[in-house]
Amino acid sequence: MTGYGPDNLPYGVFSLADGVRRIGVRLDDTVVDLSDVDDIFRQPSLNALMAQGSPQWTYWRSVVHRHLDRRIPLADVDLHLPFEVADYTDFYSSEHHATRVGRILRPGQPALPPNWRHLPIGYHGRSATVVVSGTPIVRPRGQLGEGVFGPTRRLDIEAEVGFVVGVPGARIGTADFDRHVFGVVLVNDWSARDIQAWEYRPLGPFLAKSFATSISPWVVPLAALATRPAPVQDPVPHDYLRPAGHGYDLRLSVEWNDTVVSRPPFREMYWTAAQQLAHLTVNGASVRTGDLYASGTVSGPERDQAGCFLELTVNGTEPVKLADGSTRGYLADGDTVTIRGSAPGARGGTVALGEVRGTVVG
């Protein structure tokens, strides 16, 4: 019902009044305190657990199932960043998003860059500013164009899915995806569109993204999620991107204050998470425990499936109406955005992906 039944059991890091961080799983509206079960759960982050690898992940899941009695109401705990972020990488793998953004920002040019269908485009982000859901988002200042400095006027979100690496490696083939990736989180890659437009040529987004990236507090193990066939890709990708691996039918929703404004469907993503990891490491680059790589903005073909407000409001020119009657092109101070997700579970039913939330502070 809640999506947090015994088939989900996502891992998180919490503390009680003593402030000591420890590991638990979420079960309905409670946290199961695992800190007495084993040393591996008496840690301030999931990194040591994630580094153990997939046979051990399976083992711990079976152990956890036998310890579901030590439950603390969710309301009584503080949730923290669940893992130490090593490198943070962000992709750009929704064709609907890339196409719509290309049309809006580079009119008169081909919507998709020529490389888009040949490789999963990505770039590195700032790991220092990956924060847990609920952390206030301070409106960034910066150069908004030539000669203009101040708080961004085009503060946006990007609704994404993040994949968390457990086992280090390099040159990771698509078939080895499940051996390296521990689980998924929801990601809001906050973006300042005016800063971005002015700074991004030729080396890509920098300060437009680096002020904050929010993630959900519960890492849902891959083992909890049903898979689905990967999307059809044309042209056929290079060998190192084959087989494509599987897709996931993750269903997101974006709530702007009290109004659901969009329902981005992850099943529409063009490149799979396995392909993204294979691409990231094909040049010999290594990934470490705690690496976070995000899917890129999840957008579907319809406007109300857009994963960012740049698309939803056509760069602010077609504002959306919220439940209280107000309208928005981009985020106002005091606005709260909540991205929620759920997915078919590996054993049937529905698994909740939790939520990632942030309120804009002026």
Judged by the rule CB under 8 A, the positions of this chain that interact with a second copy are 86-87, 92, 106, 113-115, 118-119, 121-129, 138, 140-143, 146-147, 149, 192, 195, 198-207, 210-212, 238-240, 279-280, 282-288, 291
Shortest distance in whole angstroms from residue 210 CB to a second copy: 4
3-state helix, strand, coil in the chain (%, to 5): 20, 30, 45
What's the closest the beta carbon of residue 164 comes to a second copy, in angstroms? Answer: 15
Which residue's CB is nearer to a second copy, number 83 or number 92? 92
Minimum CB separation from a second copy for residue 208, in Å?
8
Q: Which amino acid is at 142?
A: G
The 3 state secondary structure assigned to 129-191 is CEEECCCCEECCEEEEECCEEEECCCEECCEEEEEEECCCEECCCHHHHHHHEEEEEEEECCE
Residue placing its CB nearer to a second copy in the complex, 140 or 300: 140
- Using DSSP, state whether 124 is helix, strand or coil: strand
Query: Closest distance between a second copy and the C-beta of residue 284, in Å?
Result: 5
**Per-residue CA distances from 286 to 152, 169, 280 (Å):** 35, 5, 8
Cis omega before residue 107 (within 30°)?
A: no
Counting Cα atoms < 13 Å in the Cβ hemisphere of 331 gives 31
CB of residue 141 to a second copy, shortest distance in Å: 6
Residue numbers annotated as active site: 97
Does an H or E element contain 276, and which?
helix 273-282
Distance in Å, CB of 128 to a second copy, minimum: 5
Contact between 345 and 226 (Cβ < 8 Å): yes
- Three-state secondary structure call for residue 105: helix
Q: How far is the CB of 332 from a second copy (least distance, A)?
A: 18
**Whole-angstrom distance, CA of residue 257 vs CA of residue 359:** 9
Please spell the DSSP secondary structure of 20-75, one letter per residue: --EEEEEETTEEEE-TTT-GGGSSSSSHHHHHT-HHHHHHHHHHHHTTTT-EEEGG
- Nearest alpha-carbon partner for 355 in 186, 113, 188, 213: 186
Reference 245, options 265, 281, 269; nearest CA is 269
Cβ pair 356, 132 in contact under 8 A: no
